[in-house]
């Protein structure tokens, strides 16, 4: 399976005094990532197998995170509700997939999470009852690159693979406008 994500956040460089717009301008970066998931790892490489996934989309929360047009430019709308929405929806998606696969949160050895920002990462840590070490790859990529939107999880995945994170069940999750949250259960060998 091939997945490609490209984000050009700089295309929405609208500036005004709105706190969400200012945070977006400081936090979002351009990024691209791709992953090929296969059962055949090839010689000497780890294999990443996509086992199951789920999504949650709530159009009723659309105005919490979205783009709008203003003066012919894209303007990012980022509200204070985003960290809690992202954490709540990430928890719901995770529990759905784990229940279907008869797994518990403790069965997940590595977390590949779209950080979204420091407050989002802290909200997810609290919601999922994880220690800071569990989110180290997401935190490191956020420090290094900022929020790369959909491509972010591929940077985190690459960091975990390069660090030889423990094999086993991995959880990959991202969120975005819509309001939407997506998650995938991976088996890494």
What would the two tokens of residue 150 be?
Answer: 């959909």
> In CATH, what number is assigned to the domain containing residue 134?
3.40.47.10
Distance CA 54, CA 24 (A): 27
Q: Does the pLDDT at position 24 exceed 80?
A: no
pLDDT value of residue 11:
72
**DSSP annotation string for 102-158:** T--GGGEEEEEE---SHHHHHHHHHHHT--GGGGHHHHHHHHHH-B-GGGHHHHHHH
What would the two tokens of residue 45 be?
Answer: 């490489």
Q: Does the pLDDT at position 137 exceed 70?
A: yes
What would the two tokens of residue 69 be?
Answer: 């047009």
- Asked if residue 47 lies in contact with residue 38, where contact means CB atoms within 8 angstroms, the answer is yes
Nearest-CA neighbor of 130 among 163, 173, 180? 173
Least reliable range by pLDDT among 22-26, 58-62, 143-147, 170-174? 22-26
> From residue 166, how far is each of 108, 111, 135, 136, 170 by CA, in Å?
10, 11, 14, 14, 9
Q: By residue range, what is the domain housing residue 171?
A: 2-188
Q: Could you read off the pLDDT of 31-79 as tens digits, one per residue?
A: 788 877 666 656 567 888 899 999 999 999 988 877 788 888 887 777 8
Distance CA 54, CA 182 (A): 6
Q: What percent of the chain has pLDDT over 70?
A: 93
Of residues 19 and 127, the one with the higher pLDDT is 127
Q: What percent of the chain has pLDDT over 90?
A: 52
Q: Could you read off the pLDDT of 87-131 as tens digits, one per residue?
A: 999 999 999 999 999 999 999 999 999 988 899 999 999 999 999
Number of domains in the chain: 1
pTM of the model: 0.86
């Amino acid at each position: 399976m091939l997945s490609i994500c490209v984000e050009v956040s700089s295309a929405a460089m609208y500036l005004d005094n709105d706190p969400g717009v200012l945070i977006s301008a400081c936090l979002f970066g351009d990024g691209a990532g791709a992953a090929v998931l296969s059962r055949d790892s090839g010689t000497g490489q780890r294999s990443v197998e996509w086992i199951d996934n789920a999504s949650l989309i709530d159009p009723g929360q659309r105005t919490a995170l979205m783009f709008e047009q203003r003066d012919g430019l894209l303007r990012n709308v980022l509200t204070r509700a985003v960290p809690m929405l992202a954490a709540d929806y990430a928890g719901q998606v995770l529990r759905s997939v784990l229940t279907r696969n008869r797994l518990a949160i403790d069965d997940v050895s590595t977390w590949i999470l779209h950080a979204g920002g420091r407050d989002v990462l802290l909200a997810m840590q609290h919601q999922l009852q994880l220690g800071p070490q569990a989110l180290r790859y997401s935190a490191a990529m956020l420090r290094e690159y900022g929020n790369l939107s959909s491509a972010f999880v591929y940077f985190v995945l690459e960091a975990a693979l390069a660090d030889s994170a423990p094999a086993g069940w991995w959880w990959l999750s991202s969120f975005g406008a819509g309001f939407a949250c997506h998650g995938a259960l991976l088996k890494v060998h």
